[in-house]
Amino acid sequence: MIEFRSVSKQFPDGTLAVDDFSLTLPSHRTTVLVGSSGSGKTTLLRMINRMVDPTAGSIEIDGVDIASLEPVKLRRSIGYVMQNSGLLPHRKVVDNVATVPLLRGVPRKKARADALAMLDTVGLDRGLADRYPSQLSGGQQQRVGVARGLAVNPNILLMDEPFGAVDPIVRAELQQELIRLQTELGKTVVFVTHDVDEAFLLGDQVVILQEGGRIAQIGSPADILAHPANDFVASFIGADRGKRALHVERHDGRDVLVDSDGRLAGVLVGDSAPGQVGFSR
Amino acid sequence: MTWVWENLDLIWDRTLDHLILSVPPIILSFVIALPLGWLANRYRLSRGVILTASGLLYAIPSFPMFIVLPALVGTTLRSPLNLVIALTIYGVALMVRVVADGLASVDADVQRSAVAVGFSAWTNFWQVELPLSGPVLLAGLRVVAVSTVSLATVGAVIGAQSLGSLFTDGFQRGIQAEIITGIVATVLLALLLDAALVAAGRLALPWTRARKAVKADARLRPPVEVTP
Ligand SMILES: Nc1ncnc2c1ncn2[C@@H]1O[C@H](COP(=O)(O)OP(=O)(O)O)[C@@H](O)[C@H]1O
Ligand SMILES: [Mg+2]
């Protein structure tokens, strides 16, 4: 469990990136921080592995205040995946994946063998092991990034817009892969994105952020869709338009769902049970 | 040409002298410039001070340097050590900026992610920043190598034996072949050291070629239509 307690971050230049932020992130679940650019998502994420230290408040991991932990050691115990993979361009794929185990003192041979196995886990061909990152496609690089993040089998995986720079088809693939991995591994994932669809797809808990890391709403995707807390949330998630604003039309004795642009979204089958995703309007 | 054949031993000896005078300054200037360049890249204030100071060092004319150095470091006027020190100073002056620029050239995202996964400042320098500045460092080192080999000839004037001695001696005794041999051998030696550095770079920086290989590969293949 990760707990933010009244955390603020003011950068030396005066920017108040995060203002009195409190949140509990349950273990073995995916929490998605979603908000537009500049809302403080990256700052929040980086505070979890002490890349950034808060100027006020505290953060606890499983009851331990991380301010009391040594930053380098803490980082080696937390997986981190970022946009543009952040792989080391001068190391082969297998060595990139083995990076953190090597830093932690795992013998070279074992680290490499484990890294090869990790390539299987993230769905990469072992034949790519001896390539350099520049010799991979964007999607492959992101997979290597995920493999590197998972290499020390961390409890926590931080992901900062990891699929933001790949094309939509590959992104959808990577998202499904992450869902599969998460079902198998059950990490405490903190995922940052500006894409609402991605947030609703991946998040068990979704946190919608406004400027300064102010929380507009917290909830499951269904909660948020069914009951947007305010106009900001409704407009941010697009509850009032496009493919999320569906209404029922009667057509030849059956109910069909039509979106606000008049496009057919599907048919209504069976009864909706409590807990299922509801549609606005 | 007959002069060359009759004096092969002499040429070989002067070549070795020249190597002994120029290789240590090349290595030393790299080693000394590393921490200075790191410091220059690390803080804005130190950057200004260090880069200006090293720029000024390079502006010292070589002849006065050779005269003043012995008094400063306590060597005798004709010691070859004076030349080694002077060449090292010029090398450092060039290399400090190269190291600072090289470290600055490392992609910020890569550095940030190295910190994020748990590199300490020390391991980050040796395992990430230094190797990734490799191409820039190599380019700078090649300039230093060639300029050091060429500057080392000046040693002849202050009594340090080198290939330069061939042309001072040639001038004094009016042997044109000796003068030309001195010049040609100096150029060849510079080229040789340069080639050695390039070869070392190929071994030490294999990923820089990997990227080129991919591009070449892509050029060979006919373009494939990609429809999303
Ligand atoms: N190192 C920094 N120094 C000063 N301001 C910063 C720094 N990092 C981020 N900021 C500012 O803090 C705010 C939040 O940034 P960030 O956390 O990167 O947002 P997001 O990831 O949601 O786009 C922005 O206004 C940004 O300009
Ligand atoms: Mg960000």
- What are the tens digits of pLDDT across the range B6-41? 889 999 999 999 999 999 999 999 999 999 999 999
The CATH number of residue B209's host domain is 1.10.3720.10
pLDDT of residue B218: 46
Calculate how far, in angstroms, residue A86's C-alpha sits from the geometric centre of ligand 2. 14
> Between B58 and A205, where is the model more confident?
A205
Residue B87 in tokens: 């060449």
Determine, for residues A86 and B214 on separate chains, whether the beta-carbon distance falls below 8 Å.
no
Nearest atom (ligand 1) to Cα of A36 = 22
Q: Radius of gyration over alpha carbons of chain A, in Å?
A: 21
On whether residue B129 sits in a domain, the answer given is yes
pLDDT of residue A14: 94
Give the whole-number percent of chain B exceeding pLDDT 70: 92
Pairing of strands A156-160, A188-193: parallel
Residue B117 has what DSSP assignment? Answer: H
Calculate how far, in angstroms, residue A77's C-alpha sits from the geometric centre of ligand 1. 25
pLDDT of residue A242: 73
Nearest atom (ligand 1) to Cα of A15 = 5
pLDDT tens for each residue of A66-125? 999 999 999 999 999 998 878 999 999 999 999 999 999 999 999 999 999 999 999 999
Residue A157: pLDDT band by 50, 70, 90 thresholds?
A: very high
pLDDT of residue A260: 83
On whether residue B226 sits in a domain, the answer given is no
Residue A241: pLDDT band by 50, 70, 90 thresholds?
A: confident
With beta carbons less than 8 A apart as the criterion, state whether B211 and B156 touch: no
Nearest CA in chain A to B131: A90
User: Any idea which of A26-35, A144-153, B48-57, B131-140 has the lowest mean pLDDT?
Assistant: B48-57
Determine, for residues A100 and B123 on separate chains, whether the beta-carbon distance falls below 8 Å.
no
* The pLDDT of residue A250 is above 90: no
Ligand 1 neighbour A38 (Cβ under 6 A): yes
Nearest atom (ligand 1) to Cα of A192 = 21
B117, B125, B129: which to substitute to probe chain A, counting the most A Cβ within 10 Å? B117
Q: State mean pLDDT over A186-211.
A: 96
pLDDT of residue B67: 79
Q: State mean pLDDT over B84-104.
A: 94
The reply to whether ipTM tops 0.90 is no
Q: State mean pLDDT over B74-97.
A: 89
Helix B8-42 crosses helix B44-59 at what angle (to 10 degrees)? 150
Ligand 1 neighbour A99 (Cβ under 6 A): no
- Average pLDDT value for chain A: 92
Q: Where are the domains of chain A?
A: 2-239, 243-280
Q: State mean pLDDT over B203-208.
A: 93
Nearest atom (ligand 1) to Cα of A37 = 23
Helix B134-151 crosses helix B176-204 at what angle (to 10 degrees)? 170
Q: Which amino acid is at A260?
A: S
What is the reported pTM? 0.86
What's the CATH number for A2-239? 3.40.50.300
> Between B167 and A74, where is the model more confident?
A74
Q: Which residues contact B163 (CB under 8 A, 6 or more apart)?
A: B14, B15, B17, B18, B152, B153, B182, B185, B186, B189
Q: Which residues contact B148 (CB under 8 A, 6 or more apart)?
A: B22, B25, B26, B29, B87, B90, B91
Residues of B with CB under 8 A from a CB of A: 107, 109-110, 112-120, 123, 128, 131-132, 134, 205, 207, 210-211, 213-214, 228
Residue A31 phi, psi dihedral angles, 5° rounding: -105, 125
Q: State mean pLDDT over B116-122.
A: 95
Inter-chain Cβ pairs, chain A and chain B, closer than 8 A: 71
Instruction: Tell me the residue range of the domain where B81 lies.
Output: 2-220
- Nearest CB to B116; choose among A75, A87, A90: A75
Sheet of A64-65: strand order equals A16-25, A2-10, A56-61, A64-65
Ligand 1 neighbour A83 (Cβ under 6 A): no
Residue B188: pLDDT band by 50, 70, 90 thresholds?
A: very high
Give the whole-number percent of chain A exceeding pLDDT 70: 96
- Average pLDDT value for chain B: 88
Ligand 1 neighbour A211 (Cβ under 6 A): no
Helix, strand, coil content of chain A in percent (nearest 5): 35, 25, 35
Calculate how far, in angstroms, residue A17's C-alpha sits from the geometric centre of ligand 1. 6
On whether residue B132 sits in a domain, the answer given is yes
Ligand 1 neighbour A228 (Cβ under 6 A): no
Residue B55: pLDDT band by 50, 70, 90 thresholds?
A: confident
- Nearest CB to B120; choose among A72, A88, A169: A72
Three-state DSSP class for residue A22: strand
Q: Into how many domains does chain B fold?
A: 1
Rounded distance between C-alpha atoms, residue A83 and residue B109, angstroms: 9
Please report residues of B whose CB lies closer than 8 A to that of A165: none
Residue A278: pLDDT band by 50, 70, 90 thresholds?
A: very low
User: Any idea which of A35-39, A113-117, A244-248 has the lowest mean pLDDT?
Assistant: A244-248
Question: Would you give the distance in Å from CA A193 to the centre of its chain?
Answer: 6
Determine, for residues B116 and A82 on separate chains, whether the beta-carbon distance falls below 8 Å.
yes
* The pLDDT of residue B219 is above 50: no
Nearest CA in chain A to B112: A86
* The pLDDT of residue B220 is above 60: no
Determine, for residues B116 and A90 on separate chains, whether the beta-carbon distance falls below 8 Å.
no
* The pLDDT of residue A134 is above 90: yes
